[in-house]
Structures are given as C-alpha cells and as structure tokens.
Structure 1
Amino acid sequence: MSTAVSSDLLPLTATDGPSGLAVGGVPLVELGRRFGTPLFVYDEEHLRQRCREAVAAFGPGNVAYASKAFLCTAMARLAHEEGLLLDVASGGELRVARHAGVPGDRIVLHGNNKDESELLAAAAAGVRHVVVDSFDEMDRIERLHATAGLAPLPVVLRVAPGVAAGGHRAIRTGGTDSKFGFGLAAGIAAAAVERARNSPAMVLEGVHAHVGSQVLNPAELADGAAATARFAAETGVRGLTVGGGLGVAYEAGQRVPEFAEWAARVRAAARDAGWRGELTVEPGRSITARAGLTLYRVGTVKRIEGVRTYVSVDGGMSDNLRPALYSSRYEAFLPRAPHAPRPLRARLVGKHCESGDVIIDDAALPADLRVSDLLATPVTGAYGYAMASNYNKLPRPAVVFVRDGEARLVVRRETEDDLLRLDVTEPAAAGPAAGTSRADLVAARRPAGA
C-alpha cells in the first residue's frame, strides 16, 4: 500500500496543518514531545459523538458502555455524562466507575466467575443488575442472602444462543461451546429462568446474550438477537439485552455498519421473533477504537538484504497485545507527513524480548522514515491500554484526551518506581566476607563434630 493513510481510520477531529496531523486541535508531534512515548491519544469530541450516536439509535437508558474496551476515571465519567450506563466486568472496573461518580443504578456487573466479594460490592453499590452466568453463581448469591443478609439481588441471566460471531475465534462468545452463559440447548437456560424466578435471593429482570466481538456483518448480530428474543418472549421475562460486538475498520476499505443500521437490524429481528419490549445494547469497541491512536518513537531501522526491513519502536505487545493474541491488523503513518505515500514495506516491531512482538507484520511506511521519527498507529482506542501489561518490566504508557486545542493527562505514565510498589522486600542476607574460600564455606556449614 503506497497511498496515504485513509482519513476513515483517523479520529473525527483529525486535521492536517504546518506541524503535521493534529487531533482535537493539538499537533501529534507536540503531544509526543510533551508527554513522551508510547502515548495513547484520545479525541474527546469523537468519544462524545459516538456516545450520542448510540443513544440516538437505541434510545436513552438502552445503551451501556462496555468499559472493558477502555476504562479510566475520565472515560467512565464521560460515558455517564453522555447518558450511557456502564457495563463493568470485575470488582476493579466497578471500583473505577464508582470513583468516577457513576451512580450504582447506572452500572451493570458482568463476569463469568464473580466471587463473593464482587457480589457484595455490587449489592453495596446498588447496581442496576448483576448478569448471572452460571448455577454456581446462583449458589453464591443464595448463600450470601442466607448468611450475610444480602438483599434480593436484581439479576439478568446470560444465555448462550448458539450463534457465534466475531473477527477471531477467541472473541466469539455466543456459541454452544462457550464459557459464558446458560445454553439454550437442552433446556439449560429455561431451568435457570425458573430457578431465578423462584429464588428469594434474586429478582429476575431479563435475559442477556453477546455473540462476539469485531462483527462487521450486522446480520450476525441480528441472528443472535433473534435467538435470544425468541427465548425472552417464550419465557415472558421483562428485559432483553443483545450485547455489543459491532466492529470497526482497522484497515482502509473495510465497511463498518453505523449504530442506526445495527439498531434497525436487531430491532427487526427481535420483533420478528416475538419480542415487543425495549432492548438494551452494550457497545465498547465501536465507541472508543477509532477515537484513539498510539504514538511511538522509532529507535531502530534494520535492513536485512534479501529478507526484510525491521522498524522497531519504543512500545509493542505491552501496549497492543491484539496482533499477537488475535492476529489483528493495523496501519501506521508518520504524523509529520500524514498524507505522504507509503511505499516502504517493513515489519513494525516492539522492543520486547519476544519474536512475536509484532505490531504490523507488513507495514506500509513512508520511504524517508528514519530513527527518532514519531510514528502513529490509528484505531487503537479499544483493547490497547485496557490490555496493557508490564512485560519485560516496561511501564505502561500515559493517556491523554484532546479537545478544542487543549490536551489533558487522564492517566499518568508509570515509572520504574511503580514497578516496585507491589514487591514485598526483605533485608538482604549478609554475604560471605571478602577473601573467604570455598573450602572455608563448606567447613562453616559442616555440623559440629562432623
């Protein structure tokens, strides 16, 4: 690909100027200098507009932001300000949402293996409902009700509709062979509905399904909605959630459905299946992915004659695990020349001690790329920072939001001191005195009288 990077992959406020590409009115080269690299940059206006589009398509109160895609205090607060509920998948995500000031009744707790502390935290926060995933979880809820005085908990039952969709097998979640939910087959989900209805520890609010992630064909989302809606209508539950999964374009030329198309398809499918009520959705990637991009600094350009060129940057799989985990594909460009042709073919890699630390296997890059260049990978706003790690003890990047010519730090960069914060250290054992021979050490360890 020798053409310039497609504008369809860039945040909505991206513009070209004398200093190269700017987002939110702030040049990316300035952000790289000011905040360092690697750096996650989010277009705040893009985030807010996507939230508004989702609410317009599905209606107020019917959209929950799937916070696993990207969560920090600022993001939780933004989604809440734009009228979205928050879907959290752990006690930690619940803590962040509450820290951001999101009321408990605007939060939904997911998770296929919630422990008792998470269930108690959800009850204490007064969450809108808990999405129950197994009979073992029902056992825990009933035990807490009996022994810890837990009030009846509002619950939604996650079902596995037998429809699996998504861009990679690891993110297809709605099939029969899944760790998530009660299967519709063999009456398992129906038995779960009856148990929840008859339990003094639970108040059944509805059913939920999520068929997968990075789905580009809305017909697949409609199929999952139809199967779940049919079950919901047959069992007479009050609420129906059809999950998220709407995909985004990571490379030029990919067609992506808009929220309005998604809403029309799943509503029609649910109606045809006999459902007459409202339905709730849980978008995550489709809110944040294109809003964010990652800035790196090029450190090494290695040309192996007759083989390939390697371009190494100062991040890698610790800030974008998706290529290694899902074989995900991205594009890259130089912010100083965003519209330059990209005839150079190279493997874009990170700095980790791992051959699989590949960001883009066959990247298209400008011919004049050089060491110290600032390089950007777009569409990294979902599951980049969220899946970041400290592999090789690299500190995790900072996150900035940009809007109206201003940049604000919302997550600071980790430091090497942060890497030591959790270590439990003990005084170092005294070593042998200088000049002590091996024979002396052996003799000193020999039991007395030996």
Structure 2
Amino acid sequence: MTHEAGWAHAPGALRGPGWLREPTDPNALVPSLWSRTAHKVEGDLVVGGMPLADLAAEFNTPAYVLDEDDFRGRARAFRDAFADFDVYYAGKAFLCTEVARWVAEEGLHLDVCSNGELTVALRAGIDPSRIGYHGNNKSVPELRRAVAEGVGRIVVDSSAEIERVGQVAAELLAAGTISAPQGVMVRVTAGVEAHTHEFIATAHEDQKFGFSISNGDAFAAVRQVGGLSGLRLLGLHSHIGSQIFDTAGFEVAARRVLGLHARISSELGVTMPECDLGGGFGIAYTTQDDPSDPAQLATEMTKIVEHECRALGIEEPRLSIEPGRAIVGPAMCTVYTVGTVKPVTLDGGAVRTYVSVDGGMSDNIRTALYDADYSCTLANRHSAAPPVLARVVGKHCEAGDIVVRDEFLPADIAPGDLIAVPGTGAYCRSMSSNYNHALRPPVIAVRDGAARVVIRRETEDDLLATDVGAR
C-alpha cells in the first residue's frame, strides 16, 4: 500500500536534499540543465541530432558529448550582449584546437593560463594579439615565449613576475624581436568574497592571486610596472570567484577597482585604457541554480560601471570579461554505461540505491573536490517504473568517487543502461586524470545529426608512453 503522503514520508524512507523534488516523470528532462538541442525521442536522449545510444555504440563510454550549436550560440550571446566589451573565453574551462577555432570564428578573444593552453591557441590559428595570459607563477621561459609570440596582454600577479616580464620584454625589444612594449594588466584583489565554495572564491585577501587594493600592494604594483620601459600598463584586472548568479559582488568589486583606477590617474598621471572584471558567471547544474543570462548580466554590469565612473568623474575604460563555464558548461554532457545497481540498507531501514557507472572521479572530479551537485537522466530508453532516489558513483577505489550525489532515476535502472549527466563542459575534461590508470574519455562534437571526434579516447599506449620501464 502506498503511503498517503508519498514515498518521502513513508517510514524508513531516504530523503534527498531539500531542493530536490520527486518528479512526476523520471524520464523527463529539465531544459535549463541541458544544451539547447537536447531532447528525448521515445526515451532516447538526442543531442545535436545524434541519439546518445548511437554515439555509445560507435565510440563506447564514458564519453563527453559537446553540442557545437549550443557552444556557438552561447558564445554569440555573450559577444552580442557585451558588444561594448572585449569577451575573452576562459580556456581553462575546456580547450582543444577545434574549440579554439570556434571561439575565434564567433568573434571572441581567448584567455590562457599555461604554456600548453597557449600552444593549443596558436596551433588553432588564434591571433596572438587576441590572447590574454593568466597565471600566478609564470616562468621566464613561459613569459619569453608569450612576449615573443605577441600575446596581447599578460596579467601580472606578483612583484617578482613584474620584474621577470619587464626584463624579458626589454631584452626582446633590444633584440628587435618585438617592436613595442608588452601590454600587461595588474591583477588586484578587491576584498569581495563571492558566494561560492571557498576553493573557487578568489577575491578575498587570504589567497594566492593578485595584489590587495586595501593594503596598498596594488598601487605599488602599478607604480612598479610604470618604472619598466619594456612594459605598457593596460589596466587593472579583477576576478571575484566562480559559479556566481548575480551582479552584487561585481558591483562592490567594480567600485573598489575603479576607485583605484581613479587614484592611479590622479596621483600617478597614468591613464589606463582597460579594465577587466573577470568571469565566474554561473550555470544551472541542478534545479536549485538560477543563473542570469548574458543580456541581463551585460545590462547590470554596464550600469554599475557607468554609475561608478560618473561618481568618480573619470572616463569609462574599455571593459572586458572572461566567461568560460557559462559558454561551455551547459554545452556538454557525459554519457556512461551502468555496470551495477546495488540497494544498500541504512540504519533505520532506509535503502539507498547505488548506481555504478564506467567512469567516475577520473572524468569528473568536481563532486569530490568541490562538493558539487549534478543531475542525470536515463538516456537509452523510456521507463514506466516509478522514480527512486539514487546515487550515481564511479568505478574508482575511493569511497568519495561520486558522480551524482542525489537524483531520481527509474526504479528499473539496470546494468547496460546509459546514464547522461548534463553540465559537464566546464573543468571535467580539463581536470580529468588517469587515476587507477583510467583512460581519459573522448570528446565527441555533435551537430546537425553528425558526430566527429575532437579529442580521441586515450589508449593504453598513451598511458604507458611516459612510463620508461614499460619500454
């Protein structure tokens, strides 16, 4: 007999988080969590015109599936909404040669933060002047290459780095390798702590990035840059965190950063043409998330800057932002094959259903690292079974190897079924690993009913290529 208040109120029932509601139909998609072409046809999940079951049959699982139209559409939405800004795609979220080409074709700049990311950008044919280079510990060889290649801006993060890049630029100027001083931005910390996980909130004082505005370090850094002939000061750079859903934090940060901008102009007589407000715009991973769209963000951020500049009596600098997750995050999902389904009886008689898949923390570390929440759906068939609260876990030798902590799946979920997890475009492939000697999955781009591999699946030969003893 069914309990009159539903399964969640029955004796011994297992309750999920407060925001998670039992669905009427566990087969249905929540559109805000998925790429724009994702839909179901008689239970089969279709993305970019390709049934995931067909992709799994051809390319095996696990696999990342990248919706090209969705990626391009989100890139254009930021480009058009922020038409008076420079929009830098944050490559750290996910980058490969093909994606770098899409970024350029859609009129965006590209932000990189390592020599490897720079290599990908250059091989994709990105104009170096449209590349920004981040990082808190760039080496002399990295800086030398970036300057020699003509990278448009380097975001400096310490006094030592200012000296390094200044020396490198001066040497290359003297040698005739470059014809103008290297453009740099000074990264500042505005003392704004974004409402996010502490590991990804980056504007409070006690962390590794940037120069503090409040204690005078940022002003001193600007003065240091001004004393080096090889450098050209473009402006200040601020980043307040990640997975941010409103502009309240940007408002406080902009006030402090533009206040410093005005002080530098007044006291040092230096006019800085640019100002970067960073990225960190959030996406919907689950129904508890309610992100702003690019048009709304652009309207609010433009008003903030106009108001602050008017109050300070200064001209508005050329602004830039750095969306990464907000473009690629929803454009990708990960498809897995179910290996085992295990009901586990807990204290009090409640039962948790563990659904084990053929991937895990090697292809999505965010659940374990950030306590991140994800959603998922049965992807290969329609089920008439009632929903059951399940936990989707990986195959690694770790108790914390969880992919989706809590989600309703059909009660007849079984080995061989496919499960798809939305919102895996940002950081999942970028932070993937070979833990337990797992092979990293491929990235399959889909569009208009066609699929192509943009990053192939690793092989055991790849895995052993650096193992000297295996030769």
The TM-score with structure 1 as length reference comes to: 0.91
Cα deviation, 1:320-376, whole Å, max 9, x if unaligned, reads: 010001100011111124797862112211000111101122221111110010111
The match for 1:248 is 283
1:277 Cα deviation (Å)?
2.7
Cα deviation, 1:127-148, whole Å, max 9, x if unaligned, reads: 1110001101012123334666
Match of 2:206 among 177, 197, 207: 177
Percent of pairs identical after alignment?
45
Amino acid at match of 1:221: F
Match of 1:226 among 236, 255, 258: 255
Amino acid at match of 2:318: E
Q: What is the distance in 2 between the residues matched to 1:13 and 1:342?
A: 27
Q: Which structure has the larger Rg?
A: 1
Amino acid at match of 1:194: R
Question: Contact 1:219 / 1:265 at 8 angstroms: preserved in 2?
Answer: no
The match for 2:374 is 330
Asked if residue 413 in structure 1 is aligned to residue 448 in structure 2, the reply is no
- The 1:203/1:402 distance shift into structure 2, 3 A limit, reads same
The match for 2:325 is 285
Question: Contact 1:24 / 1:404 at 8 angstroms: preserved in 2?
Answer: yes
Q: What is the distance in 1 between the residues matched to 2:418 and 2:222?
A: 54
Q: What is the distance in 2 between the residues matched to 1:373 and 1:175?
A: 45
* DSSP 3-state at the match of 1:280: strand
Q: What is the distance in 1 between the residues matched to 2:239 and 2:385?
A: 40
Asked if residue 110 in structure 1 is aligned to residue 134 in structure 2, the reply is yes
1:125 Cα deviation (Å)?
1.4
Amino acid at match of 1:283: P
Question: Contact 2:383 / 2:412 at 8 angstroms: preserved in 1?
Answer: no
Cα deviation, 1:97-138, whole Å, max 9, x if unaligned, reads: 111111111110000110011101111210111000110101
Match of 1:215 among 233, 244, 255: 244
The match for 1:446 is none
1:61 Cα deviation (Å)?
6.1
The match for 2:294 is 259
Q: What is the distance in 1 between the residues matched to 2:40 and 2:290?
A: 24
Cα deviation, 1:296-319, whole Å, max 9, x if unaligned, reads: 000011122344221110000000
Q: What is the distance in 1 between the residues matched to 2:196 and 2:104?
A: 29
Amino acid at match of 2:194: A
The match for 2:405 is 361
* DSSP 3-state at the match of 1:62: strand
Question: Contact 1:218 / 1:257 at 8 angstroms: preserved in 2?
Answer: no
The match for 2:15 is none
Q: What is the distance in 2 between the residues matched to 1:53 and 1:378?
A: 20
Q: What is the distance in 2 between the residues matched to 1:168 and 1:6?
A: 24
Matched residue count: 427
The match for 1:197 is 226
Q: What is the distance in 2 between the residues matched to 1:228 and 1:269?
A: 12
Amino acid at match of 2:167: R
- Structure 1: runs of 5 or more not aligned: 428-450
Match of 2:156 among 103, 107, 132: 132
> Aligned-residue CA RMSD in angstroms?
1.8
- The 1:395/1:111 distance shift into structure 2, 3 A limit, reads same
* DSSP 3-state at the match of 2:110: strand
* DSSP 3-state at the match of 1:224: helix
Amino acid at match of 1:2: E
Which stretch has the larger CA shift, 257-266 or 42-51? 257-266
Q: What is the distance in 1 between the residues matched to 2:226 and 2:382?
A: 58
1:26-425 equivalences under 5 Å are 26-59=50-83, 62-145=86-169, 149=175, 152-236=181-265, 237-274=272-309, 276-305=316-345, 306=349, 307-337=351-381, 343-425=387-469
Cα deviation, 1:32-64, whole Å, max 9, x if unaligned, reads: 111111100011000001011101111166100
Q: What is the distance in 2 between the residues matched to 1:168 and 1:91?
A: 27
Q: What is the distance in 1 between the residues matched to 2:52 and 2:198?
A: 35
1:166 Cα deviation (Å)?
4.2
Question: Contact 1:2 / 1:341 at 8 angstroms: preserved in 2?
Answer: no
Which stretch has the larger CA shift, 137-146 or 86-95? 137-146
Q: What is the distance in 2 between the residues matched to 1:221 and 1:44?
A: 30
- Structure 2: runs of 5 or more not aligned: 1-20, 266-271, 310-314
Cα deviation, 1:11-50, whole Å, max 9, x if unaligned, reads: 1011222461211111111111111111000110000010
Amino acid at match of 1:285: R
* DSSP 3-state at the match of 2:216: helix
Question: Contact 1:57 / 1:259 at 8 angstroms: preserved in 2?
Answer: yes
Amino acid at match of 1:56: D
Amino acid at match of 2:62: P
1:399 Cα deviation (Å)?
0.3
Question: Contact 1:165 / 1:221 at 8 angstroms: preserved in 2?
Answer: no
The match for 1:436 is none
Amino acid at match of 2:234: E
Question: Contact 2:170 / 2:229 at 8 angstroms: preserved in 1?
Answer: no
* DSSP 3-state at the match of 1:139: helix
Amino acid at match of 2:462: D
Q: What is the distance in 2 between the residues matched to 1:61 and 1:144?
A: 29
Q: What is the distance in 2 between the residues matched to 1:182 and 1:41?
A: 39
Question: Contact 2:336 / 2:420 at 8 angstroms: preserved in 1?
Answer: yes
